[in-house]
Structure 1
């Protein structure tokens, strides 16, 4: 009985600590800074770099896990709004710590037409301040960065609500790109 109580206490402590870590806003990357470079495989296994989108606005969004309810809603909203985003000269790229195979399944299942990058070791998420690291468990925090055509951070979003997020991105892109 005592061991069970200790285990429940430990699980509760880890849950509270993890939630607090997840909710902490990132101070690592801020508006006006040069966006951290990256080199990651996409769902088809092709290596993608930040420079691939030079000269375009880039919506770089980090999300916890493929095929979970919030992540699916967020990705599908971006999918549904992709024409408006493209009309503003921007591209969307999703990043999580899931594998290339997981991303491929997720993209196919939900007909996602934008790249999903596999940051399996969490280095890119960490560089953007979007890594939740609980030791044996790593996940990306739900954060988004708008990167301007020169590779500078133009807008940051932490503690993102998946519902309505893509519309907020569109509204901010209109403001930032002076359309």
Structure 2
């Protein structure tokens, strides 16, 4: 009589294990491997207004209006961000092509940390805006770093990527957008 009783003790544990596996399968199947496909309400709309200091020169301020006239790639990064380190060489290589200006958007970072990070890994940016308190990022809809936006010469957001940029992302997504801007 002890055999049926010991099996009955394992039944709740087995049921819990099955439920746990079903939950894990649901999470795995629902994940979105194409994170950059997240929609942005800014696409096709003017880039948000901002007035931010320049990293390393806090007396100098830059506004959205100052950047109009030529397209730019706004790359959101922070020294605290592992994905930013992962994408940094890719962003630097793209900046060297000079297809569009690459503007850094240093988000919620200490100036000393950001400067030290750039000294260590290189500074590919034509200009770096510093959003110390994160208020400007809210207007852009930024919820994590890295994120990257392509803004046309008129100041309209035409493309957004969430997560680290890769060579494949640049080839398949960014360059076609840049070519459209160049063709205008």
**Is the structural similarity TM-score above 0.5?**
yes
Q: Give the secondary-structure state (helix, strand or coil) at the position aligned to 1:40.
A: strand
Does the CA-based 8 Å contact 2:79-2:114 persist in structure 1?
yes
Counterpart Cα distance in 1 of 2:54 and 2:170: 21
Runs of 5+ unmatched residues, structure 2: 1-34
Map 1:92-131 onto structure 2 (within 5 A).
Answer: 92-95=102-105, 96-114=107-125, 115-131=127-143
Q: Cα 1:154–1:122, aligned 2, differ >3 Å: closer, same or farther?
A: same
The question of 1:80 aligning with 2:71 is answered no
Does the CA-based 8 Å contact 1:58-1:147 persist in structure 2?
yes
Deviations, residues 84-130 of structure 1 (Å, cap 9, x unaligned): 2x2x3x11112222122222212221121313322121111110111
Q: Cα 1:169–1:79, aligned 2, differ >3 Å: closer, same or farther?
A: same
Partner of 1:177: 182
Bigger CA radius of gyration: 2
Q: Give the secondary-structure state (helix, strand or coil) at the position aligned to 2:166.
A: coil
Map 1:143-158 onto structure 2 (within 5 A).
Answer: 143-157=147-161
Alignment partner for residue 64 of structure 2, among 41, 46, 50?
50
Q: Cα 1:68–1:62, aligned 2, differ >3 Å: closer, same or farther?
A: closer
Deviations, residues 44-97 of structure 1 (Å, cap 9, x unaligned): 12322222321110111223x31543202322211122132x2x3x11112222
Q: Give the secondary-structure state (helix, strand or coil) at the position aligned to 2:183.
A: coil
Q: Cα 1:27–1:73, aligned 2, differ >3 Å: closer, same or farther?
A: closer
The question of 1:29 aligning with 2:42 is answered yes
Q: Give the secondary-structure state (helix, strand or coil) at the position aligned to 2:160.
A: strand
Runs of 5+ unmatched residues, structure 1: 1-22, 132-139
Counterpart Cα distance in 2 of 1:170 and 1:110: 24
Does the CA-based 8 Å contact 2:102-2:124 persist in structure 1?
no
